[in-house]
Amino acid sequence: MIREWRDGILLYRFASLQEAAGVRHAILTRIGGVSRGAYATLNLGHTVGDDLAAVEENHRRALGIFGLLPQRVVSPYQVHGARVGLVGRAHLGTVQPATDALVTGEAGVPLLMRFGDCAPVLLFDPVRQTIGMAHAGWRGIVAGSVVATVRTMGQRLGCAPADIWAGIGPTIGPCCYEVSAEVADAVEAACPAGAPVVHRLDGHLYVDLPAAVRAQLRACGVERIEEAGLCTACRVDEFFSHRAENGRTGRFGVLLELLA
């Protein structure tokens, strides 16, 4: 991952995607905004209890470093499901209801999603010039949000899975994601048989979200996969973590856009 500062805001980029033509992206952190307390400082979550004026200022600052306005992006209202929104310029400034993934084949349609432990999954097809982004926690893995996003890119935008590059962003790691037996069983059932997505240690069960995303991507035919390798729960100095911060925390943003 490429780590950089821009106008006081810390962000990360995937090396492979940074070098790709016709697309830009940024994985924002929690650093560079005006929120205080549990939401310090670059919280982009409107529904977590933060002061809304601070959240709006954070959006203005975060998007401003890319020359974007908050009313010129598309976002989903994430519900841990598998609904995929196919969006275009007509959707700029909207929040897509009950949606956990967005895809577009139109340039100038920035996709902005928010995370606080779940895996951001970025997708780019350089052949068809299309992008997608999915929100994948354990519920998303079970619901099939990653699979549905790849399928939508194929069925609606003509993408071949073999052409798609995927990036798995910062997410809670297997070191920190202890779950119940019911959750572990559901995640294993949603992934290809034998995929190492659940680890057992001293009688405790831990889900490996990056491994689950990777297994589902490969089952869809996506082979070019890059991982951030950053655990949000271990790195609360740079990322918000719902698990590590006991639910009282913000959300960091991820931006993905096709360029004209």
Do the Cβ atoms of 244 and 176 come closer than 8 Å?
A: yes
Do the Cβ atoms of 60 and 68 come closer than 8 Å?
A: no
Q: What pLDDT score was predicted for residue 45?
A: 98
Residues 6+ apart with CB under 8 A from 253: 28, 42, 44, 62, 112, 113, 114, 115
Q: Is the pLDDT of residue 260 over 90?
A: no
Do the Cβ atoms of 64 and 73 come closer than 8 Å?
A: no
Q: Which structural domain range is residue 191 located in?
A: 2-258
Question: What average pLDDT does the structure give for the chain?
Answer: 98
> Nearest 5°: CA angle at 8, between 16 and 69?
75
Q: Is the pLDDT of residue 167 over 90?
A: yes
C-alpha to C-alpha distance for 257 and 237, rounded to whole angstroms = 27
- With tokens 């010129």, the residue in question is 72
Model confidence pLDDT, tens digit, residues 88-143: 999 999 999 999 999 999 999 999 999 999 999 999 999 999 999 999 999 999 99
Q: What pLDDT score was predicted for residue 209?
A: 98
Do the Cβ atoms of 242 and 49 come closer than 8 Å?
A: no
Q: Is the pLDDT of residue 180 over 90?
A: yes
Q: What pLDDT score was predicted for residue 155?
A: 98
Q: What is the mean pLDDT of residues 140-161?
A: 98
Q: What pLDDT score was predicted for residue 252?
A: 99
CATH code (residue 213): 3.60.140.10
Provide the domain count of the chain: 1
CB atoms within 10 A of CB 60: 14
Q: What is the mean pLDDT of residues 187-191?
A: 98
Q: What is the mean pLDDT of residues 37-63?
A: 98
